[in-house]
Chain A
Amino acid sequence: EVQLAESGGGLIQPGGSLRLSCAASGFTISENYMHWVRQAPGKGLDWVSLIYSGDNAGSYYADSVRGRFTISRDSSKNTLYLQMSKLRAEDTAVYFCARMPPINDAFDFWGQGTMVTVSS
Chain B
Amino acid sequence: QSALTQPASVSGSPGQSITISCTGTSTDVGNYNLVSWYRQHPGRAPKLMIYEDTKRPSGVSNRFSGSKSGNTASLTISGLQAEDEADYYCCSYAGSNTYVFGTGTKVTVL
Chain B interface, number of residues (Cβ within 8 angstroms): 28
B18: Cβ under 8 A from any A Cβ: no
A55: Cβ under 8 A from any B Cβ: no
Q: Residue B34 contacts which of A45, A63, A105, A112 (CB distance < 8 angstroms)?
A: A105
Q: Is the CB of B38 within 8 A of A45?
A: yes
Q: Is the CB of A45 within 8 A of B46?
A: yes
Bound complex: CA of A92 vs CA of B96, how far in Å?
26
- Interface residues in A47-102 (C-beta closer than 8 Å to B): 47, 50, 58, 60, 62-63, 96
Q: Is the CB of B1 within 8 A of A104?
A: no
Bound complex: CA of A35 vs CA of B99, how far in Å?
10
A45-B38, A45-B91, A50-B97 as given contacts; A106 in contact with B102, CB under 8 Å: no
Which candidate, B9-17, B50-58, B78-86, is the interface stretch facing chain A? B50-58
Q: Is the CB of A110 within 8 A of B46?
A: yes
Q: Is the CB of B91 within 8 A of A47?
A: yes
Q: Chain A nearest CB: distance from B32 CB in Å? A: 8
Contacts of B98 in A (CB 8 A): 47, 50, 60, 62
B interface residue numbers (CB < 8 A to A):
1, 3, 34, 36, 38, 40, 44-48, 51-52, 55, 57, 87, 89, 91, 93, 96-104
A interface residue numbers (CB < 8 A to B):
35, 37, 44-47, 50, 58, 60, 62-63, 96, 104-108, 110-113
